[in-house]
Amino acid sequence: MGASKTEHFSEHQNQIALIAKALGHPARIAIIDYLLTVNQCICNDIVNELPLAQPTVSQHLKELKSAGLIKGNMEGNAICYCINEETFDVVKNYFNNVIKSTKEKCC
C-alpha cells in the first residue's frame, strides 16, 4: 500500500494492515511463537532458535516492534523482548468481529 493511499482509510484499517503485513513472514511467526513459549527473552536467545543470521533476526524484530506486536526493554547492553498484549487484543477483536459478521451474513 503506497504511502499516498493510506490517508483514504481509517486509522484502524491502517493499523490492522500494518499488523497483517508484519505477521506475513514465517520467521516473524516463529519469533512470536518463541516469545509465547518463553514469555520473555533476549535477542540472542531468538537468534539461537532460528536458522537465520543475527542481522536478519534483528530486522524481523524491528518489523514486529514497529507494528506494535512486541515490546523491547533494555537490560544492561541487551534488549529483552516480550509480546505486546494490547496489540494482540486489537487483532483478536478485529477477527472476532469478522467471525461474528460472517455468522450473521452468510451467502
pLDDT (0 to 100) of residue 3 = 57
Alpha-carbon distances, residue 96 vs 24, 68, 105 (angstroms): 20, 20, 14
Cβ contact 87:69 at 8 Å: yes
Q: Could you state, in chain order, the average pLDDT of each consecutive group of 10 residues for the chain (107 residues)?
A: 75 96 97 90 85 95 96 87 96 94 74
pLDDT (0 to 100) of residue 107 = 63
- Report domain 11-93's class: mainly alpha
pLDDT (0 to 100) of residue 1 = 47
pTM: 0.85
DSSP assignment string, 9-77: S-HHHHHHHHHHHHTSSHHHHHHHHHHHHHSSEEHHHHHHHSSS-HHHHHHHHHHHHHTTSEEEEEETT
